[in-house]
Amino acid sequence: PGSRSYTGLVEDCCCDYETAGSLNEQVLHPILRELVKTPFFRYFKVKLWCDCPFWPDDGMCHLRDCSVCECQESEFPEPFKKSSGVLSADDVICQEGKPQAAVDRTLDDKIFNGWIEIDNPWTYDDETDNTAMTYVNLQLNPERYTGYAGPSAQRIWAAVYQENCPQYPSEDLCHEKKVMYKLISGLHSSISVHIASDYLLDAFANLWGQNLELLYDRVWKHPDHVRNLYFVYLFVLRAVTKAADYLEQAEYNTGNPIEDLKTQSLVRQLLYNPKLLSACPVPFDEAKLWQGENGPELKQQIQQQFRNISAVMNCVGCEKCRLWGKLQVNGLATALKILFSVDGENNQNQPLQLQRNEVIALFNLLNRLSESIKFVHDMEPLMEKMERHD
Ligand code: FAD
C-alpha cells in the first residue's frame, strides 16, 4: 500500500512485511507488552559501571535523563536475592536521589532452580562474574530520548559499524557479514524509533511526546533502515521460536505464584501461537548460513566481532543508553547463540543452555523491536504524507 519502499518478502526471511506488521500488531505485541511487565522479566542484572576498554575518558553520564533508577528494595523478588542478602546503607543509594529509585546491589547466587551460569561466547562480558552487578527495574527506566548525542554517541556507532564490516556496503561482503550488518542497523533503527516515540518536546515544561520529524529523518527516509528493523525483528523471533521447547520448560519462579503462572501462560501463548505458526512458521532461515567451505572460520571471526561490539557497549557515555544498549546486544547475542551455537558444525548434539538473564534480555529485546515495528506501522500514513511534501 501507498508509496512505501518496502514490500514483498523481508530479505532472507520467510514472511512478508505486511504479514509481519499485522502479526506483530494484532498478536505478538499485545502478548510481549504484558510479558515484560511480569516480575520475572522486568528485572535485568547488569554491570552499569563504565568498564570501557577503548576510551577510558568516556562512560560518565552528565545528562539529567540519562541516569538509571534501579530497583526498589521492597519490590525486589525474593528468589533473585542472595540467600544471606542483607542490604547495607550503601546498597540503597539512589542515583537520582529519589526514594523510589533505591539501588539493590544484592546478587543472586545459584539459588535459581533450573538456571545455570554459563558464559556466552557471543558476548564480551563474563556472564558468570557477579562483581559490581546490579538489578534494574526496566519498567522504571524506559528506553527513550535522553539527550545523548554528539561525538561520544557518533564514536560508538562508528566503532560498531567499523568493527563489523569495514567495507560495507561493498558487494563483495559475504552473506553472513551482511546479516550481521543488518542486525546492528536494525537495532540502531529501533533505538531511533524509541527516541522519536518518546521525546522531550519541551524541557522547561517537562513535556514528552512524539517527534515525527525525527522518525522521518532517521528511519523512514532510509528504506534500508526500515527493512533492517523488520529483519532483526524476524531474526530474534526465529530464535525465540527455535528455543520454544527449552523456554517453555524454563523456571519462571519469582516467589509470586499468581504472577509466575501468568508469566508462564504468556510465554506459552507467544511460543505456540497458532496465528504465528500459520502465518510465519520460520521467520528466518538460519540453515543457509555458514555453508561455505570457510564457514567455521567465518563463524569464529564474526563471533569475535560481535564480542567486540558487546565490549563497545561499555563505552556508551549515558547510563540509561548503556543499560538498553547492553541489554539489547545481550539479547542479540542470545539469539545468535540459539541459532548458531547449537547444532552447529563444531557443536554437534550440544544441548541448549541459557541463563536467566539471557532469557530476560532476549524477550525484552523482542518487545522493544515489536514496539518499534508497531510505531512505524502505525505512523505509515503520516510518514507517506511527509514524504510527499519532502
Ligand atoms: P545517529 O543515530 O548517531 O547515527 C549516526 C550515523 O549512523 C548516521 O549519520 C547514519 O549515517 C548512520 N545510521 C543511522 N541510523 C542507521 C541505521 N538504522 N542503519 C545504518 N546506519 C545508520 N539516545 C537517546 O536519546 N536515547 C537512547 O536510549 C539512546 N541509546 C543509545 C544506545 C547506544 C548503544 C548508542 C550508541 C547511542 C544511543 N543513543 C540514545 C544516541 C542515539 O542513538 C544517537 O546517536 C543520537 O540521538 C544522535 O543521533 P544522530 O542524528 O547524530 O545519528
For 185, counting Cβ atoms within 10 Å of its Cβ (0-12 exposed, 13-18 middle, 19+ buried), the class is buried
Contact criterion met (CB below 8 Å) for 47 and 132: yes
Joined grid coordinates for residue 304: 569475535
Give the type of residue at 224. D
Question: Rounded distance, CA 65 to CA 63, Å?
Answer: 6
Closest atom of ligand 1 to CA, residue 328:
34
Ligand 1 site residues, Cβ closer than 6 angstroms: 143, 145-146, 148-149, 153-154, 156-157, 185, 188-189, 191-192, 195, 218, 225, 228, 316, 320-321, 324-325
Minimum CA distance residue for ligand 1 atom 46: 149
What ipTM goes with this model? 0.99
Element (H, E) at 121: none
Q: What are 266-325's pLDDT values in tens digits?
A: 999 999 999 999 888 888 888 777 777 777 787 888 888 888 888 888 888 788 888 999
Give the type of residue at 71. C
The pTM of this model reads: 0.87
Element (H, E) at 309: helix 295-312
Name residue 207's beta-bridge partners: 202
Name residue 45's beta-bridge partners: 135
Which residues lie below 8 Å from residue 289, measured CB to CB, with a gap of 6+?
A: 175, 176, 179, 295, 340
Q: What are 71-127's pLDDT values in tens digits?
A: 555 555 565 554 333 333 333 333 333 333 333 333 343 333 445 666 667 677 766
Question: Rounded distance, CA 181 to CA 225, Å?
Answer: 11
pLDDT at 116: 60
* Residue 373 Cα to chain centre, angstroms: 14
